[in-house]
Amino acid sequence: MDSASGGGGAGGGGLDVSGGGEAGPSSVTGGGGGGVERTVVVGGGGGGSTAAPPPPSRYESQKRRDWNTFLQYLKNHKPPLTLARCSGAHVIEFLKYLDQFGKTKVHVAGCPYFGHPNPPAPCQCPLKQAWGSLDALIGRLRAAYEENGGRPESNPFGARAVRIYLREVRESQAKARGIPYEKKKRKRPSSASTTTSSAAASLAPPETAADVGGGAADAGAKTTTVAVTTTTV
């Protein structure tokens, strides 16, 4: 900041504004003798504070946890497995291992509630991972594998055996729980709406195409409009 001083001697009431150098904050001090000295912080040095990065989304956090869980599974595997040697069969083995932590009741064929969506009483059927949870898990691990340097063509989470296993789990759980899993279909724009929009575009007024020069006078604009209309007729 520039230096500003008062016009008098000892009795002047001007302020001496001195910069705080390159590193420290600036200070404002009182002027003439006998005055009260005050120090006011104006601002910091030349370096500005960098904004903190935004926190990861819920999906990214879950993907990181799933990836670390799978790597720990490979480490504890007997014999231990490396990621480079992992195949679709190992991925299926991992999914079956996760069933012990599942919370979805899947009725066996001999259970009286087999195929019952809302059983009236508890039973001894095992708890497993729901098909939807496994399907979403494979999607996250498939993305994490490639984000960590894996090649798409060798991605074990996209292996055909894994897709077949997930389809079998979906069908078996649908029968056991009496809950059909229907794949959501994407809505396509109807041909009627497309035809309507095309017809509306073809009926655009001719003035919009002719009125390109916005700075013309009113009389000139009217003459141009009449000329276009006459040519069209």
Identify whether residues 93 and 163 lie together within a single domain: yes
Report d(CA 178, CA 107) in Å as an integer.
10
Tell me what pLDDT residue 183 has: 61
Tell me what pLDDT residue 188 has: 62
Identify whether residues 37 and 131 lie together within a single domain: no
Burial class (CB in 10 A: 0-12, 13-18, 19+), 86: buried
- Please indicate, yes or no, if residue 231 is contained in any of the structural domains: no
Tell me what pLDDT residue 134 has: 97
Low-confidence ranges of the chain (pLDDT < 50): 1-36, 39-46, 192-194, 196, 199-200, 204, 206-233
Identify whether residues 141 and 72 lie together within a single domain: yes
- Please indicate, yes or no, if residue 156 is contained in any of the structural domains: yes
Q: Which residues share a beta bridge with 16? A: 29
- Please indicate, yes or no, if residue 183 is contained in any of the structural domains: no
Task: Tabulate helix, strand, coil % of the chain (nearest 5).
Answer: 45, 5, 50
Of 92, 97, 102, 95, the residue nearest 126 (C-alpha): 102
| Domain tally, the chain | 2
- Please indicate, yes or no, if residue 110 is contained in any of the structural domains: yes
At residue 128, the 3 state secondary structure works out as strand
Q: Are 43 and 25 in contact (CB under 8 A)?
A: yes
Identify whether residues 78 and 144 lie together within a single domain: yes
- Please indicate, yes or no, if residue 185 is contained in any of the structural domains: no
Identify whether residues 69 and 109 lie together within a single domain: yes
Of 161, 144, 3, 14, the residue nearest 96 (C-alpha): 161
211-229 confidence digits (pLDDT tens)? 444 444 444 444 444 344 4
- Please indicate, yes or no, if residue 3 is contained in any of the structural domains: no
Identify whether residues 114 and 154 lie together within a single domain: yes
Q: For the chain, how far is it from start to end, CA to CA, in angstroms?
A: 72
Report d(CA 29, CA 34) in Å as an integer.
12
Identify whether residues 71 and 114 lie together within a single domain: yes
Identify whether residues 36 and 102 lie together within a single domain: no
- Please indicate, yes or no, if residue 29 is contained in any of the structural domains: yes
pTM, full prediction: 0.57
The CATH number that applies at residue 122 is 1.10.150
Give DSSP secondary structure letters for 53-66.
PPPPPHHHHHHHHH
- Please indicate, yes or no, if residue 143 is contained in any of the structural domains: yes
Report d(CA 75, CA 100) in Å as an integer.
19
Give me the domain span that covers residue 116.
58-177
